[in-house]
Amino acid sequence: MSLLEEKTLSTEKIFSGKVIQLQVDEVLLPNGKKAKRELIKHPGAVAIIAITDENRMVMVEQFRKALEKTIIEIPAGKLEKGEEPSACAKRELEEETGYDCESIELLNSFYTSPGFADEIVHVYVAKGLKKKENAAGLDEDEFVNLIELTLNEAQQAIEEKQICDAKTVFAVQYLLLQEVLKN
């Protein structure tokens, strides 16, 4: 056991919703004292860096109630129960953008807010995009606009804070690095 580890003394379940669960754990600290930890359980998510044959990033414009504003993000979505992340990535790409892809590869997985949440995002790179006929649609409470940006336009959108979430800023930086390494 790590010297930093915190042992759970008790768990109080506060809320169980459609997306998240909240619990407060009482823990034993490394120094023998007690503390409370407010913890969000989340099913995990995928995000997709999807590049068209014209070298544009496929993005969606979406209203985010938590932020009370509309922002531009790479396509993303929550894992369904028992769903394999790469299958989820293909499904979300189709539902949000209408694109099917020839290849989809895991680039990285990261926790978004380790201080209070267990949410992990699996980031995929999708290539060989083709518009799919009769593509599956969005969830009934989901509304997005599809937009396609060059890397320069995406960098501009970061400057202007239309792109302002961790996974999308990471995605743009990743493609910028690939671009620089190519030259």
- Measured CA to CA, the distance from residue 98 to residue 108 in angstroms comes to 24
Tell me how far, at minimum, the Cβ of 98 lies from a copy of itself, in Å.
17
Instruction: Write out the two tokens for 10.
Output: 């008790």
Q: Which of 10, 116, 137, 150 binds a copy of itself (CB under 8 A)?
A: 116
Count of residues engaged in binding a copy of itself, rule: CB under 8 A: 71
Instruction: Write out the two tokens for 23.
Output: 């619990």
Catalytic residue list contains 68: no
The dihedral of CA 53, 100, 51, 60: what is its sign?
Answer: positive
**Rule CB under 8 A: which of 12-31 touch a copy of itself?**
14-15, 17-20, 22, 24-25, 27, 29-31
Site string for a copy of itself, 123-162 (x = CB under 8 A): -----------------xx-xxx------------x----
**Rule CB under 8 A: which of 156-175 touch a copy of itself?**
158, 164-167, 169-170, 173-174
CB proximity list for 138: less than 8 A, separation 6 or greater:
95, 96, 144
CB proximity list for 183: less than 8 A, separation 6 or greater:
none
Q: Which residues have a catalytic role annotated?
A: 140
